[in-house]
């Protein structure tokens, strides 16, 4: 079942109906992929540090959805996926805290949070 989505050339009408009426793993994966793509797009195109951080959060959450969805649909009898997701949330919180703190410092020092201007790493 799970691999059906990978059969682009054998999708029948029934399949489509099925997809539209029964919420399954595939929906979650699709959602997570879309979220991840949005996040990545934002990460690559945004110029401010704060939007970039928000995009990173988006990508992390996409992953979290994946984890929870897999844990729910796959035949496992523990909650490791959920656990991992909570763990990731905690880490993400820390990361945001540090990231925002850095953003403040950078703004104090440089007077800007434009990522294009922060290129001193090239040496």
Q: Which residues bind another protein (CB under 8 A)?
A: 3, 6-7, 40, 43-45, 52, 115-116, 118-123
Smallest gap from residue 19 Cβ to another protein (A): 18
Smallest gap from residue 12 Cβ to another protein (A): 17
Smallest gap from residue 78 Cβ to another protein (A): 25
Burial class (CB in 10 A: 0-12, 13-18, 19+), 95: middle
- The Cα–Cα gap between 67 and 44 comes to 24
CB nearer to another protein: pick between 21 and 119? 119
- Closest of 90, 102, 87, 122 to residue 52, by C-alpha: 102
């Amino acid at each position: 079942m799970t691999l059906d989505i990978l059969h682009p050339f054998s999708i029948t009408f029934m399949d489509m109906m099925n997809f539209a009426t029964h919420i399954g793993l595939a929906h979650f994966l699709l959602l997570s992929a879309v979220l991840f793509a949005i996040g990545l797009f934002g990460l690559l195109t945004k110029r401010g540090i704060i939007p970039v951080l928000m995009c990173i959060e988006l990508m992390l959450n996409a992953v979290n959805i994946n984890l929870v969805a897999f844990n729910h649909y796959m035949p496992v009898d523990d909650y490791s996926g959920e656990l991992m997701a909570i763990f990731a949330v905690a880490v993400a919180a820390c990361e945001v805290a540090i990231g925002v703190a850095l953003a403040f410092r950078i703004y104090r020092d440089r007077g800007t949070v434009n990522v294009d201007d922060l290129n001193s790493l090239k040496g």
